[in-house]
Amino acid sequence: MDKLVITGGKRIEGEITASGSKNSSLPIIAATLLSGSGTFTLHRIPDLQDITTFRQLFDHLGAETAFSHNTLTITTANVQSVLAPYELVKKMRASIYLLGPLLARFGHARVSLPGGCAFGPRPIDLHLMAMEKLGARITIETGFIDAVAEGGRLKGATIDFPVSSVGATGNALMAAVLAEGTTIIRNAAAEPEIEALCHFLQAMGADIRGTGTTELIIHGCDSLRHVEFSNIFDRIEAGTILAAAAITGGSVTIRGVIPSHMESVLQKFSDAGCRIETTDDTVILKSTGRLKATDITAEPFPAFPTDMQAQWMALMTQAEGTSEITDHVYHERFNHIPELNRLGAHIDIEGNWAVVHGPQALSGTKVMSTDLRASASLVLAGLVAEGTTEVLRVYHLDRGYERIETRLQNLGAEIKREKYSEFG
């Protein structure tokens, strides 16, 4: 296995271009299944394990893919199978994104139930509810979701989500664009990744109104075409790099961003005492290293994202005063707390509410986490911890950050990747 070995105390300084977004790549890739018309060309796709898993799923379905220099080409004309097997689905919960497009194009989909998750229950009831509303008959047996469109084609409907869900909104959208008639999605997720999916589907010929809002109106069409498309930047990677500069008292310029996608996060950096400047596609953060305790509450967009909660907590271990961190999206997403405390932080937790008592000097040791963003928070802590921090099980980080160690090295961090064995 790989680990990251970090020697703390170096300032993060320099310029970098943001990577493409993982969380928009996944539904966009899934949406290519909606058309068998030709070859899709997708630019700015990050080179991540989740993308590799998706390509394996596509191979299994009978699609052809090629990936080079962050450009992915996909031909879905020869897709024969509608089965997404457990061996691949278990590696990535986002495989559930295959359900909507397969069902919409072929009238049938058989997708393995995704397994558990490191930070609490992550149900798929809303995905299934949306498909049923659109006229699918769903049965669950032997660990598979078997969905069949009544009469062979989905039918437009009103879908009112009781909870804002990125994944269920994406799936409902992808199913609705080929359904017969009009679909209204209420309480839709308005995250930039869903907006990007809308833009992609519109480029394919879909009729979607209300893009970027919580009410989407879709007039279904008979067929969609292949397109060339450029993905949006990864706002969570960008936020993590800003946090690296903020925690080390450094300064960083990130190019290729859309500042409005990270307004709530930029505001919090500013509240914490960092200087933030933006242009149309650039964000600059300057930190003196003197940080003020700043509370955050993770909620759906445009509020502070749950995917930045762990990184913010690492930052607050170095801030003057007490900060309160609440996660309303995932109530149990706090794996990082015991590990940050092992590095010397003082964080208390009660339910989905954590209190960080800062600043505390951190000192390096071996740490490990069981999910992606929690691991990112440990890397941030390692950047300021005295001595050497070893972040084990880097495969979690590799699911969401492309070459994180190279990117941080280029910005001045002392960080390297090494092999190790967990059995001594």
Annotated binding residues, written as ranges, equal: 22-23, 93, 122-126, 307, 329
99 touching ligand UD1, by CB under 6 A: no
168 touching ligand UD1, by CB under 6 A: yes
330 touching ligand UD1, by CB under 6 A: yes
Are 381 and 406 in contact, with CB atoms under 8 Å apart?
no
307 touching ligand UD1, by CB under 6 A: yes
> Which residue reads 């008592």 in tokens?
357
Member of 3, 10, 110, 127 binding ligand UD1 (CB under 6 A): 127
374 touching ligand UD1, by CB under 6 A: no
**Closer residue to ligand UD1 in complex, CB, 160/207:** 160
Shortest gap between Cβ of 419 and ligand UD1 (angstroms)? 28
165 touching ligand UD1, by CB under 6 A: yes
Member of 14, 123, 143, 351 binding ligand UD1 (CB under 6 A): 123
Query: Please, which residues have CB within 8 angstroms of residue 37's CB and are 6 or more apart in sequence?
Result: 77, 223, 224, 225, 226
94 touching ligand UD1, by CB under 6 A: yes
**Closer residue to ligand UD1 in complex, CB, 107/114:** 114
> Which residue reads 């990577």 in tokens?
19
Shortest gap between Cβ of 233 and ligand UD1 (angstroms)? 15
Member of 74, 166, 283, 313 binding ligand UD1 (CB under 6 A): 166
Count other Cβ atoms within 10 Å, centred on residue 367.
25
Tokens of 36: 């068998």
Which residues between 182 and 221 bind ligand UD1 (CB under 6 A)? 189, 193
Dihedral angle sign, alpha carbons of residues 110, 116, 119, 125:
positive
**Closer residue to ligand UD1 in complex, CB, 26/74:** 26
Please state, in angstroms and rounded to a whole number, the distance separating the CA atoms of residues 216 and 213. 7
Residue 258 backbone dihedrals phi, psi, to 5 degrees: -120, 100
**Closer residue to ligand UD1 in complex, CB, 78/158:** 158
Torsion of CA 164, 167, 169, 173, to 10 degrees: 180
Q: Which part of the chain contacts ligand UD1 (CB under 6 A), choosing from 166-174, 214-222, 339-347, 405-413?
A: 166-174
Please give the DSSP secondary-structure letter assigned to residue 35: -
- Burial track 71-87 (b if 16+ CB lie within 10 A, e otherwise): ebbbbbeebeebbbbbe
Query: Please, which residues have CB within 8 angstroms of residue 125's CB and are 6 or more apart in sequence?
Result: none
133 touching ligand UD1, by CB under 6 A: no
Strands of 108-112's sheet in order across: 83-84, 108-112, 144-149, 136-141
Query: Please, which residues have CB within 8 angstroms of residue 297's CB and are 6 or more apart in sequence?
Result: 303, 304, 325, 326, 327, 328
Catalytic residues: 117
**Closer residue to ligand UD1 in complex, CB, 22/393:** 22
Member of 12, 72, 126, 378 binding ligand UD1 (CB under 6 A): 126
Member of 329, 378, 391, 404 binding ligand UD1 (CB under 6 A): 329
**Closer residue to ligand UD1 in complex, CB, 376/381:** 376
Where do contacts with ligand UD1 occur on this chain (CB under 6 A)? 23, 26, 94, 122-127, 163, 165-168, 189, 193, 306-307, 329-330
